Amino acid sequence: MQIAIPAERLAGEHRVAATPETVKKLVAAGHAVSVQAGAGLAAAIPDAAYADAGAAIAPQRQPLLAAADIVLCVRAPEADDIAALKAGAVIVGMLSPYHNPLLPQLAARGVSAFALELLPRTTRAQSMDVLSSQNNIAGYKAVLLACQYYPRFMPMLMTAAGTVKAARVLVLGVGVAGLQAIATAKRLGAVVEAYDVRPATREQVESLGAKFVEVPMSEEEKAASSGVYAREMTPEFLARQNELLAKRAAAADIVITTALIPGKPAPRLLSAAAVAGMRPGSVIVDLAAEAGGNCELTRAGEAHLSDNGVHLVGLANLPAMLAADASSLYARNLLTFLGLLLSPEGLKLDLDDDIVAATLVAHQGEQRFGAPAKPAAAAQTDKEPHHG
């Protein structure tokens, strides 16, 4: 197969979808790999490293895409890139399926498009889980960003000039990013507590040496919060949650928020009033900024100071700030996923495979995710898996 690795076009996106390590393995398997010139420079990978691994370096983008059987990308392609793809081509990457207005164009082009954000949370899919690999990096970087804005030390220091107290860190949302934020803050010597709407995460929080903050819940609310992902909760629960989190934020020096609900706006965990109750010099790093923010005062893509002197950090795409390691992990995720699509005979899409079916958002001219609902009569005979 002819596999193409284009440079990313989104501003601030420094990652790349393949590394010399993964290119070498693809070439050894008999595939031809072409990398757009300069695609890996921001991730500390020069063109020569790709060439040494067996890739061809393509000076122009459109011919690279037009010749490709498979395109590996980090971000969703833009309209002119889609127009350059040949019918029947495969594209694999993080395609933003919940908010991508170009899915109909991908379908109309006859492209088979795989959005890896839709991977099922199963043991079999773990090695392909791009969200986990990239959120792990985001949680780590969030703590380092907090240190950048926080005007004090993180650890407790006993000096001849007196003792400096350890910073108090509150992590909201205990997924992959939240757990890494907890671990990183602990390594830096902070006192850490964490909250998640899912009570089952208590054990993970406490295993990292942090304190778990718990909002009282009814049996119905516990049942609603028992899944892998956080879900929207009742207004009564949210009122109790917000009251408690405002108190914990007021006692914290640094708050890192990571709560997301797939396909929906980020849950609001910190109100403007909660921020007003925090001490000057405190820091909020909002990893949900691009989805509307967990904090009411977050500005996506910006870092600013509130009226009472709280640093609000809504910078986007933290994994791209550590592009070398982020690209390495992401490229390995993609290489593993390609193992489901490639056979010795070439490309083979097994729609009975749960991972393939869950991530396939466009195929053979059909938009398979987020498409308008079919008429009831047709829906009764529809045998395709439901993704949206």
Residues with catalytic function: 121, 126, 129, 132, 229
| Alpha-carbon torsion angle 148, 192, 312, 236, nearest 10 | 170
Is-contact 297 314, C-beta < 8 A? Answer: no
Is-contact 85 71, C-beta < 8 A? Answer: yes
SS3 call for 310: coil
Longest dimension (CA), the chain: 80
DSSP states along 9-62: -STT----S--HHHHHHHHHTT-EEEEETTTTGGGT--HHHHHHTTPEEES-HH
Helix, strand, coil shares of the chain, percent, nearest 5, are 40, 20, 45
Distance between CA atoms of residues 143 and 180, nearest Å:
9
Q: Is the alpha carbon torsion for 183, 185, 187, 192 positive or negative?
A: negative
Is-contact 103 367, C-beta < 8 A? Answer: yes
Q: 254 is written with which tokens?
A: 């640094």
